[in-house]
């Protein structure tokens, strides 16, 4: 016979702080996956039912940057035939990017996530900062149209992979969930 769980709160408290005590990972989850899981859960709760897209992007960029410690994290919004800089965390950035130009414009044009292990090998890369060495760009899609892109840069080559792509796509979906 199953009995109700009587000690849920102590167990929850133990698991919530597990990563702080075990920095190599959480049980069967690699550290990167666990960090994204916590980030995604907290982001969904934090954004709640806020409908303003800039407010959602601003806090998402801040939370991603705070938790993942990337070099640059931000959004570019589709405005006509250009991407226009939106909320971000990091050094100053390019303010406008043309359709199909650089990694951001290419992700917009192709309507898919682009993972670039070495930005210097990407044809037409736009160097907003010479410190950026690898990049991932995730389009925010609504009814098949790109409304913005999430751009994340690292100072280290080869930082991003399929794990980053999967989680950042889920995060982009959460950011875009309630915008009008």
Check which CATH number belongs to the domain holding 62 and give it: 3.30.450.40
Number of domain units in the chain: 1
Confidence tier at 11 by pLDDT (50, 70, 90) = low
Is 63 a domain residue?
yes
Contact 114, 172 (CB under 8 A): no
Expressed as residue numbers, the domain containing 21 is: 8-176
Name the nearest CA neighbour of 104 among 162, 140, 151, 65: 151
Is 3 a domain residue?
no
State the Cα–Cα distance between residues 20 and 88, nearest whole angstrom. Answer: 27
pLDDT tens digits for range 23-82: 655 566 788 998 999 999 999 999 999 999 999 999 999 999 999 999 999 999 999 999
pTM recorded for the entire structure? 0.83
Is 132 a domain residue?
yes
Q: What is the pLDDT of residue 126?
A: 84
């Amino acid at each position: 016979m199953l009995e109700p769980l009587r000690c849920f709160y102590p167990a929850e408290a133990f698991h919530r702080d597990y990563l702080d005590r075990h920095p190599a990972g959480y049980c069967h989850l690699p550290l990167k996956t666990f960090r994204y899981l916590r980030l995604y859960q907290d982001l969904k709760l934090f954004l709640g039912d806020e409908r303003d897209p800039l407010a959602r992007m601003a806090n998402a960029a801040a939370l991603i940057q705070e938790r993942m410690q990337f070099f640059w994290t931000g959004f570019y919004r589709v405005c006509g035939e250009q991407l226009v800089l939106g909320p971000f965390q990091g050094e100053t950035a390019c303010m406008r990017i043309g359709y199909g130009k650089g990694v951001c414009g290419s992700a917009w044009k192709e309507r898919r996530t682009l993972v670039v292990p070495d930005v210097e090998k990407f044809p037409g890369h736009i160097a907003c900062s010479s410190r950026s060495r690898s990049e991932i760009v995730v389009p925010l899609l609504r009814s098949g149209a790109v409304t913005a892109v999430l751009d994340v840069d690292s100072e280290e080559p080869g930082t991003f992979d399929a794990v980053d792509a999967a989680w950042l796509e889920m995060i982009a979906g959460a950011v875009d969930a309630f915008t009008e």
